[in-house]
Structure 1
């Protein structure tokens, strides 16, 4: 992308790499962070932004959202995050349902949320694939950072409530259904491989099983909706049985089983949404302390909104609430920047301020985790998309 160079000069740079702010300038060029250092020279035809007295952060990243799939200010017409006529829909792709004109995207970027991972809800045992997007654009294809990111699966109350009169009324049947789907896909993949390109020996094309093959070969993880402790353990049990990657989403009772979760060194955990009422039994132990407790134990923690459960623009506020409940401030910053970027597999592009990464930055007049702080400017791919011009 060819854009006019921008030099951010004189700000306190919180890069999500160093615990303390850095006194460096940042040069944005061709959509990337081209240079960082003290007293950088401005290239010819460069816009120089005086960030004196301001704080500079990476664009905030949300690892688990339904933005663009749950229309703001509209009902059924904009509700595209759950297919409720089929208990397993791994072949569905979030990218096919997202509306970039949803006002939630503007609200997100105005608050400094520059990258989101969005996809199906939790009505189904298998819901389809998530996609990582920038929060600006008219055409979803041009907003994509990574697609697919992960395959959504769900445990606990939601699938058994939605399908209680059809296919699924217990946690046992949810787990059995997921095992059956993964086993069927494994067999389908083995038969494809055994055919060795001979079309006469190939199994009949199955769109659902085909969609699960990237999970089984490790290309993408299962993205497991699990609030309650027993559901978290079931998700991990099935992932270990099939040797597949997994990320844990919500982890509401994580603080109650922190010693066990600390053993899962390769499992990213996204905590939230916490800025809500405990609307069902499995949320009874919801706590702002959870992300801090998990982070202190060495777990890989992100903080999420689950938009529209919490409006996307309140992601930084959620980090502030976690700090109030005892989370280390730097850990909280990482939980809405580099950790969610790692969680969704896009840390090579976003999540921290480093040379070579996408030029996604937020300039504020104070700590963004405090309600009285104002966002002064937001850059996505080196272009100012929000704030004072």
Structure 2
């Protein structure tokens, strides 16, 4: 029995490698287009970066001349915009490197580090600007409404152009989305600043500048919290948002000849790249290879999970469990054999039939 099991494992691994390679062959056939898309993403990000840096330099000068915290806060936010885009570009370069050595997934999570850094930067900056805005709300300085209005209107145009450039990049990447959120938040900030400048110019109400800054702070908090939350889910290896691992396991265990599924782990390597591993027990006499291929097809087509590693065994296949082959109820056999298959099983056990978890 042991010899048979070893041979079976080897064939299963070889067959799995063939299927897995075939699954990625479709991707490999588009390798050139993926490279072109990555280059295009970098060009769009670089275009946005140039627009932001040029305008930011002028905004700093005008902000101090006009004594406008809203403009200075916008300039500070634009500095983080520029930094976020540079960070995104660096992360894209690192993520594109092939897997080697101890980094068996490559450096794909560099993009998630970038996204989290962008989120944390937004939160820290919002705290500082919130403190300054409250101080100016209590004791508002004289503000040149005309300069603020004109600069903010130019800023709206610049940020619209930068946001348009970045929208052309692949925003399914949390890395690109993080940089994009910086720019979009800045666009809203300039709209608020333009309104504040117009109010100061028309009515002389100086506190409008500080109120606009608080609006910007609220937007930054919202964007920063979302980025930190989403990146933290990936670092903590939570299941992809919108996918319930228990519901997925219940669907898979209902497949023909599948008796039990345990040690199911579902996580994301980076945004948009989910991975799954699980131990599958098949009824005695069942075709392990056919079951595995069927489950991988379901995962690929229904859940878009193309990185799936499935260990498939027959119930009672272990030498210590030979006596279980005499049991006609495959589900009962699985219950007795489960502890032997995985002595330190993680997560719930999903079983077919009336004994389902």
- With normalisation by structure 1, the TM-score equals 0.25
- With normalisation by structure 2, the TM-score equals 0.27
Higher relative contact order (CA 8 A, sep 6+): 1
- Write 1 or 2 for the structure with the bigger share of helix: 2
Larger radius of gyration: 2
